[in-house]
Amino acid sequence: MGLLKNILIAFTLLTVLACTTATKPTTVRTSYSSAADIDLFLSTSDENIENQVLDRLKSHGVDSVQIKQFLRATLLVSNDNPVGMQSNLKLKMNKKTYSYALYVPEPTKPNMPMIVIMHGMGGSGANTIQKWIERLENKFVILCPTYPIGAWWSKNSENFVLQLIREIRAKYPIDSNRIFLSGLSNGAIGAYLMGMFYPDQFAGVVPIAGGITKRLMSFLVNLNNTPMYIIQGEFDPIFPIELTRRTYKILSDFKSPVIFREHKERGAAHGGHFLPESEVSALVEWLSKQKRNPSPKVVRITREENHMKRVFWARVSKGLKLAALQIPGPEMEPLNIHDGKIATLFAIDKGNNRFMVRGKNVLEFELYLSSDYIDFNKPVVVTFQDIQDKGDKLAPGEKFVAYNKKVEKNMRVLLRSFKGFHDENFFYDAKITISTQNLVRFAASR
Sequence-distant contacts of 398-401: CB under 8 A, at least 24 apart? 398/443, 398/446, 399/356, 400/439, 400/442, 400/443
- Render 255-275 in DSSP notation, one character per residue: T--EEEEEE---BTTTBT-S-
How far, CA to CA in Å, does 100 sit from each of 112, 147, 241, 319, 417?
19, 9, 30, 37, 28
The alpha-helical segments, DSSP class H, found in 228-383 are 241-253, 280-289
pLDDT in tens, the chain (446 residues): 444 444 333 333 333 333 333 444 444 456 899 999 999 999 999 999 999 999 999 999 999 999 999 999 999 998 889 999 999 999 999 899 999 999 999 999 999 999 999 999 999 999 999 999 999 999 999 999 999 999 999 999 999 999 999 999 999 999 999 999 999 999 999 999 999 999 999 999 999 999 999 999 999 999 999 999 999 999 999 999 999 999 999 999 999 999 999 999 998 767 899 999 999 999 999 999 999 999 999 999 999 999 999 999 999 999 999 999 999 999 999 999 999 999 999 999 999 999 999 999 999 999 999 999 999 999 999 999 999 877 777 788 889 999 999 999 999 999 999 998 899 999 999 999 999 987 755 544 45
Helix pair 155-171, 186-197: axis angle to 10 deg: 80
Of the candidates 245, 199, 242, 207, the one whose C-alpha atom is nearest the C-alpha of residue 223 is: 199
282 and 261 Cβ atoms separated by less than 8 Å? yes
Of the candidates 397, 407, 406, the one whose C-alpha atom is nearest the C-alpha of residue 442 is: 397
Q: What are the chain's domains? A: 2-62 (no CATH), 84-289 (3.40.50.1820), 298-445 (no CATH)
Residues in CB range of 137: below 8 A, 6 or more apart: 284
The alpha-helical segments, DSSP class H, found in 173-234 are 186-197
Identify the three-state secondary structure at position 411.
helix
- C-alpha span between 422 and 434 (Å, rounded): 26
Q: What angle do CA 356, 290, 253 make, to 5 degrees?
A: 50
- C-alpha span between 4 and 36 (Å, rounded): 7
203 and 179 Cβ atoms separated by less than 8 Å? yes
How far, CA to CA in Å, does 386 sit from each of 68, 193, 341, 357, 358?
36, 27, 15, 9, 6
Preceding amide of 107 cis, omega within 30? yes
At 263 the pLDDT is 96
At 5 the pLDDT is 42
The alpha-helical segments, DSSP class H, found in 136-268 are 155-171, 186-197, 241-253
pTM: 0.90
At 269 the pLDDT is 66
- C-alpha span between 97 and 275 (Å, rounded): 30
Q: How far is CA 303 from the centre of its chain?
A: 15
Q: What letter does residue 99 receive in the DSSP assignment?
A: E
- C-alpha span between 308 and 343 (Å, rounded): 10
E strand or H helix at 25, and its extent?
none
